[in-house]
């Protein structure tokens, strides 16, 4: 049976994992860094193969954001290693990040990633975890649809902008249909603060105010979206 998936805002569950880069503990392994853990249904499958190539090709972009990658499926370590060798041989792409081997489904079960229809397959999911080990986002995808790596990079960069400038980001940022490249000012919590918002920011109303973020942040995320 699938386990209970952790919630956004909770600490990533502590666990020891066996990977293609050896044993280590999560989230301690990436303390002080962001990390993206993504699960895939199985090795040697078409969609998953395209995803691993795509993640590997963007690995340096993740590293520039102080972010590490780690894969996961219920396959064995030898299967992961052989699959990575096959990818290198066929596409000349090295898989530079660790892949968790979880043949007993213990890690997947702890994260709520065992497929409801088949306990022998992990679902296609993504956890984005911040440097304090807090889960900031969880994404689920069906087996037949591969992930958009640029969007995951946009999310990591977006969270970093949110944390640094104390803002929220609109839909499709930095190409929003209403405020463009600007960021949303968090809503007021008192009557007086609501009145001041209208004086201090550009607003459609006191609950929807916006402001600029440094242009270098905007250009950085646009570059990520271009790939």
Q: Is the pLDDT of residue 131 over 90?
A: yes
Cβ-count burial of 187 within 10 angstroms (0-12 exposed, 13-18 middle, 19+ buried)?
middle
Q: Which of 37, 48, 153, 184 is catalytic?
A: 48
The predicted-structure confidence for 70-104, as pLDDT tens digits, reads as follows: 999 999 999 999 999 999 999 999 999 999 999 98
Full set of structural domains in the chain with CATH: 15-147 (3.40.30.10), 166-226 (3.30.1020.10)
Predicted TM-score (pTM) of the model is 0.94
Tokens matching residue 181: 């490249």
Contact 34, 156 (CB under 8 A): yes
- Mean pLDDT over 145-165 rounds to 97
Q: Is the dihedral of CA 159, 136, 53, 20 positive or negative?
A: positive
Reply yes or no on whether 48 is catalytic. Answer: yes
The predicted-structure confidence for 99-120, as pLDDT tens digits, reads as follows: 999 998 899 989 988 766 555 6
Tokens matching residue 200: 């201090």
The predicted-structure confidence for 42-65, as pLDDT tens digits, reads as follows: 999 999 999 999 999 999 999 999
- Considering the chain, what percentage of its residues have pLDDT values greater than 70? 96
Q: What is the pLDDT of residue 123?
A: 86
Q: Which helix (H) or strand (E) holds 155?
A: helix 149-165
The predicted-structure confidence for 170-201, as pLDDT tens digits, reads as follows: 999 999 999 999 999 998 999 999 999 999 99
Contact 34, 129 (CB under 8 A): yes
Q: What is the pLDDT of residue 116?
A: 61
**pLDDT, mean over the chain:** 94
pLDDT-derived band at 122, boundaries 50, 70, 90:
confident
Tokens matching residue 42: 């199985």
Please tell me the distance from the alpha carbon of residue 23 to that of residue 5, in angstroms, as a whole number: 23
DSSP per-residue string spanning 183-199: EEEPPPSSHHHHHHHHH
Please tell me the distance from the alpha carbon of residue 115 to that of residue 224, in angstroms, as a whole number: 31
pLDDT-derived band at 1, boundaries 50, 70, 90:
very low
Q: What is the pLDDT of residue 115?
A: 64
Tokens matching residue 34: 């962001």
């Amino acid at each position: 049976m699938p386990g209970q998936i952790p919630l956004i805002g909770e600490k990533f569950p502590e666990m020891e994992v066996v990977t293609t880069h050896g044993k280590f503990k999560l989230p301690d392994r990436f303390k002080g860094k962001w990390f993206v853990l993504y699960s895939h249904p199985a090795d040697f499958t078409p969609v998953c193969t395209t995803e691993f190539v795509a993640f590997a090709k963007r690995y340096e972009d993740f590293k520039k954001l102080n972010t590490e990658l780690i894969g996961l499926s219920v396959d064995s370590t030898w299967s992961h290693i052989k699959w990575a060798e096959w990818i290198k041989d066929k596409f000349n792409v090295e898989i530079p990040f660790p892949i968790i081997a979880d043949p007993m489904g213990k890690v997947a079960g702890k994260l709520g990633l065992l497929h409801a229809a088949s306990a022998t397959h992990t679902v296609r999911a993504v956890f984005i975890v911040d440097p304090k080990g807090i889960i900031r986002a969880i994404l689920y995808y069906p087996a037949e649809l591969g992930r958009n790596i640029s969007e995951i990079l946009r999310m990591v960069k977006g969270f970093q902008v949110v944390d640094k400038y104390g803002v929220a980001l609109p839909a499709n940022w930095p190409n929003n249909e209403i405020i463009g490249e600007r960021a949303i000012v968090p809503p007021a919590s008192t009557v007086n603060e609501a009145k001041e918002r209208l004086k201090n920011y550009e607003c459609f109303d006191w609950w929807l105010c916006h402001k600029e973020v440094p242009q270098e942040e905007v250009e950085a995320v646009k570059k990520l979206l271009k790939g």
